């Protein structure tokens, strides 16, 4: 059995330490209320609790159990002594917790940090450096930068103040990179002027450098569009054509226009192949200043351009992108695996959704890619145009900023035209809806009262995020604010004008709608009798952000939080505050945003249809998924799901399995089993290998694909998932 110490390291449980601690408390009293057998009983009860649990308990949780058991024995003086000892030790620890946290990071001994981010390897120096800086930032945030009640609410799991490890710096969350502006008008990278590229391959190379620079200047996801690369295909075409004519002229060989065209297209496709390969391989091999590959999304939308030539060239880029992703990348053993990045989004539209559509061949290719590599994800142009309407009542289709964070529709007051690229999100604070429900005791009037109190807490926390960015000079991140990624401000100019009027967004996240509704109504939110309450909660969140927006002229929006490590944190906090409540707090995770619970049996089409109603109420970001088996031999079924997405829901994805074992070469689904310590671990079903360094596991956990391993809460959530198809 394992326990997690206060510094985050994981160690074996030692019953003797419980006996020693209780004995010391007992000996410090004059009456010595506990006998040796009673002390032994207390220690064995703790051991029993840990054996029955399917996760590692923290020291604080174990001490709570000990304290309760001492009082259950009627030894109140001993309990007082034990509490006093805990308090004294707490004062000593609180004098400086940061040093110890950093030391455990350096020694790779911090279990919580190891499992915090499924795409960061904490044994690598650059990752450790980022985590060390993060610990300092979190310490400053707790002690100086945030009000005490917000810090306490965050620590108790009432809310989650995201990314406090970056809050000390003036950094924002995620964005849509204006790649078009930077490529067409030039940019500056590390003090070097980069002019408009003269070929597609050069444009791709510059794009990857931009991605790396942007990732090092913010902490969230970013998105680029392949449409912005499409104009450079024709530039290369003309360049190649001229080169061919010159070659054959110098050799004195006559060549027809058709031959020139054929040779040109052959060489052009090779350049496109190399350019796309540059993006794929550079993105997965780059390490940004935070020690990980850039969290980048690549957008594939044919209708984003009206020019017939550009659209045809865009189709060539999309085709090559999908083909290369189907192939995957080789791991250190030379095995083709599923890479985490870049994430791909493919827009379903009239030109590609029907069998007789001009670009249906791309959709078939996308289906094969999804079946093999879990991407692309799908946006329905049809549904998005209905949901994302600007002040002129015109619908728009555009990519999210990373995995699911969507900008709200915006019309540039200077041009009276819609604008998306160059905009960003200021940050996120998430409300724990499960805690609101449990705190209300099931009383709906009290629920609304507590909900409003927590929303006010979130509002003030979000304003802290906003005010931290306010006054930031463009010099803080030149690639973002001065050289076109987000703006072209002057040196010394603040970014303040970009924080207001809807240019950027700021997000109220929410988590655990399923458990919230289940506790308040006794039914899943998919039950027709409970759905109205779920929708009412969502509407109330929207009404709150609308009021904040009118008050502050800041674009607050509702965001379906992609819980990763926070799902475990919230679950532990709920268990500590309310105990184990069947169907509510008896798991080591809570449900992401509005999602149907992972264990609920529902078919793919009903799930997508149901969740579509909630996507409309999450304008700041949402994504739905369906869990499917290996679909590589059933592409027709994948296409049927894609067609359903097009007709019914704005943004969705299919979760497939594509793992491999480096020991025996098995390809398929690596399974989750329980080891002798009661811990969930990954195991190859073929050779029983459990060494996570000798396997490649890819699972989608929060919009992005994770390729490392997850904390016990998220691992249990993955294990509990049922198939929807």
Active-site residue, 559 included: yes
Tokens of 345: 């989004």
User: What is the C-alpha to C-alpha distance for residues 379 and 652, in angstroms, rounded to an integer?
Assistant: 7
- The answer to whether 587 touches 711, Cβ cutoff 8 Å, is no
User: What is the C-alpha to C-alpha distance for residues 631 and 368, in angstroms, rounded to an integer?
Assistant: 9
374, 401, 631, 661: the catalytic one is: 401
Closest C-alpha among 338, 393, 436, 279 to residue 632: 338
Closest C-alpha among 501, 507, 495, 532 to residue 613: 532
Active-site residue, 254 included: no
Closest C-alpha among 282, 306, 342 to residue 227: 306
117, 425, 432, 592: the catalytic one is: 425
Closest C-alpha among 19, 50, 152 to residue 573: 152
Helix (H) or strand (E) holding 362: helix 360-373
User: What is the C-alpha to C-alpha distance for residues 570 and 205, in angstroms, rounded to an integer?
Assistant: 42
Active-site residue, 703 included: yes
- The answer to whether 436 touches 517, Cβ cutoff 8 Å, is no
Q: Identify any residues that bridge with 411 across adjacent strands, giving them in sequence order.
A: 418
204, 384, 397, 403: the catalytic one is: 403
> Long-range pairs for 304-311 at CB < 8 Å and ≥24 separation?
304/225, 304/227, 304/347, 304/397, 305/227, 305/230, 309/234, 310/227, 310/230, 310/231, 310/234, 311/230
**What is the DSSP code (8-state) at residue 302?**
G
116, 564, 611, 717: the catalytic one is: 564
Residue 296 falls in which region: left (phi positive, over 0), alpha (psi -120 to 50) or beta: beta
- The answer to whether 190 touches 217, Cβ cutoff 8 Å, is no
Tokens of 309: 């030539």
174, 182, 374, 684: the catalytic one is: 174
* Helix, strand, coil tally for the chain in percent (to 5): 50, 15, 35
Tokens of 333: 């053993």
Give me the phi and psi of 723, to 5 degrees please: -75, 145
- The answer to whether 352 touches 360, Cβ cutoff 8 Å, is yes
User: What is the C-alpha to C-alpha distance for residues 540 and 555, in angstroms, rounded to an integer?
Assistant: 17
How far lies 690's CA from each of 252, 408, 662, 672, 680, in Å? 66, 45, 11, 10, 11
Active-site residue, 403 included: yes
Q: Is the peptide bond before 317 cis (omega within 30 degrees of 0)?
A: no
Active-site residue, 464 included: no
Closest C-alpha among 69, 64, 101, 104 to residue 86: 64
- The answer to whether 644 touches 431, Cβ cutoff 8 Å, is no
134, 502, 703, 713: the catalytic one is: 703
Q: Residues with Cβ < 8 Å from 532, sequence gap 6 or more?
A: none
State the CB neighbour count (10 A cutoff) for residue 464. Answer: 18
Active-site residue, 384 included: no
CA gyration radius, the chain: 27
Please state at what angle helix 604-615 crosses helix 531-552, rounded to 10 degrees.
Answer: 30
3-class SS of residue 426: strand
User: What is the C-alpha to C-alpha distance for residues 570 and 578, in angstroms, rounded to an integer?
Assistant: 12
Q: Identify any residues that bridge with 420 across adjacent strands, giving them in sequence order.
A: none
81, 405, 474, 588: the catalytic one is: 405
Active-site residue, 633 included: no
DSSP 15-84: HHHHHHHHHHHHHTSSS----HHHHHHHHHHHHHHHHH-SSPEEHHHHHHHHHHHHHHTT-HHHHHHHHH
Residues with catalytic function: 173-174, 401, 403, 405, 425, 559, 564, 703
């Amino acid at each position: 059995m394992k326990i997690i110490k206060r510094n985050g390291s994981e160690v074996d449980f030692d019953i003797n330490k419980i006996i020693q601690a209780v004995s010391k408390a007992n000996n410090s009293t004059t009456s010595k209320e506990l006998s040796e057998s009673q002390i032994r009983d207390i220690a064995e009860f703790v051991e029993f609790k840990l054996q029955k649990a399917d996760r590692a308990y923290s020291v604080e949780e174990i001490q709570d159990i000990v304290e309760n058991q001492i009082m259950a024995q009627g030894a109140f003086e001993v309990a007082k002594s034990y509490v006093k000892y805990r308090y004294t030790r707490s004062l000593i620890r609180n004098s400086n917790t940061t040093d110890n946290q950093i030391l455990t990071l350096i020694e790779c001994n911090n279990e919580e940090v190891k499992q915090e981010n499924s795409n960061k390897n904490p044994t690598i120096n650059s990752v450790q450096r980022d985590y060390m800086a993060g610990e300092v930032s979190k310490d400053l945030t707790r002690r100086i930068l945030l009000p005490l009640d917000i810090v306490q609410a965050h620590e108790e799991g009432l809310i989650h103040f995201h990314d406090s490890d970056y809050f000390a710096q003036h950094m924002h969350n995620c964005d849509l990179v204006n790649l078009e502006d930077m490529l067409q008008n030039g940019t500056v990278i590390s003090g070097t002027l980069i002019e408009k590229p003269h070929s597609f391959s050069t444009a791709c190379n510059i794009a990857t450098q931009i991605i790396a620079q942007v990732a090092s200047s913010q902490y969230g996801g970013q998105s680029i569009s392949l449409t912005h690369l499409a104009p450079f295909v024709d530039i290369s075409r003309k360049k190649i054509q001229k080169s061919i004519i010159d070659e054959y002229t110098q050799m004195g060989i006559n060549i027809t226009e058709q031959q020139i065209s054929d040779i040109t297209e052959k060489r052009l496709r090779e350049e496109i192949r190399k350019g796309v390969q540059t993006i794929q391989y550079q993105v997965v091999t780059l390490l940004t200043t935070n020690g990980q590959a850039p969290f980048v999304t690549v957008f594939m939308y044919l209708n984003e351009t009206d020019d017939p030539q550009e659209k045809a060239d865009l189709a060539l880029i999309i085709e090559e992108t999908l083909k290369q992703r189907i192939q995957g990348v080789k791991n250190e053993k030379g095995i083709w695996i599923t890479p985490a990045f870049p994430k791909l989004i493919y827009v379903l539209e009239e030109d590609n959704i029907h069998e007789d559509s001009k670009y249906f061949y791309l959709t078939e290719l996308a289906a094969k890619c999804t079946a093999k590599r879990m991407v692309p994800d799908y946006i329905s142009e049809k549904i998005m145009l209905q949901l994302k309407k600007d002040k002129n009542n015109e619908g728009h289709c555009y990519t999210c900023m990373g995995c699911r964070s969507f900008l709200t529709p915006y019309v540039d007051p200077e041009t009276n035209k819609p604008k998306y690229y160059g905009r960003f999100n200021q940050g996120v604070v998430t409300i724990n809806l499960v805690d609101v429900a449990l705190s209300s005791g099931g009383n709906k009037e009290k629920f609304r009262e507590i909900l409003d109190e927590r929303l006010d807490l979130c509002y003030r926390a979000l304003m802290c995020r906003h005010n931290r960015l306010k006054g930031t000079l463009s010099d803080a991140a030149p690639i973002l604010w001065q050289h076109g990624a987000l703006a072209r401000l002057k040196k010394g100019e603040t970014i303040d004008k970009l924080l207001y009027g809807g240019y950027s967004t700021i997000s109220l996240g929410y988590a655990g709608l399923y458990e919230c509704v289940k506790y308040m109504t006794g039914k899943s939110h998919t039950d027709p009798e409970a759905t109205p309450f779920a929708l009412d909660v969502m509407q109330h969140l929207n009404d709150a952000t609308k009021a904040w927006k009118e008050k502050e002229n800041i674009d607050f929006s509702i965001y379906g939080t992609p819980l990763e490590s926070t799902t475990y944190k919230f679950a532990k906090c709920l268990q500590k505050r309310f105990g184990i409540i069947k169907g509510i707090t008896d798991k080591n995770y809570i449900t992401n945003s509005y999602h149907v619970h992972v264990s609920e049996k529902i078919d793919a089409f009903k799930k997508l249809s149901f969740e579509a109603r909630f996507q409309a109420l999450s304008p700041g970001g949402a994504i739905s998924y369906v869990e499917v088996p290996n679909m590589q031999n059933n592409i027709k079924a994948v296409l049927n799901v894609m067609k359903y997405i097009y007709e019914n829901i704005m943004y969705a994805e299919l979760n497939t399995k594509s793992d491999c074992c480096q020991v025996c070469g098995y390809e398929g689904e690596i399974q989750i089993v329980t080891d002798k310590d009661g811990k969930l671990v990954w195991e190859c079903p073929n050779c029983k290998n459990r060494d996570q360094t000798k396997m490649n596991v890819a699972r989608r956990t929060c919009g992005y694909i994770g390729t490392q391993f997850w904390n016990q809460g998220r691992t249990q959530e993955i294990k509990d998932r049922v198939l929807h198809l």
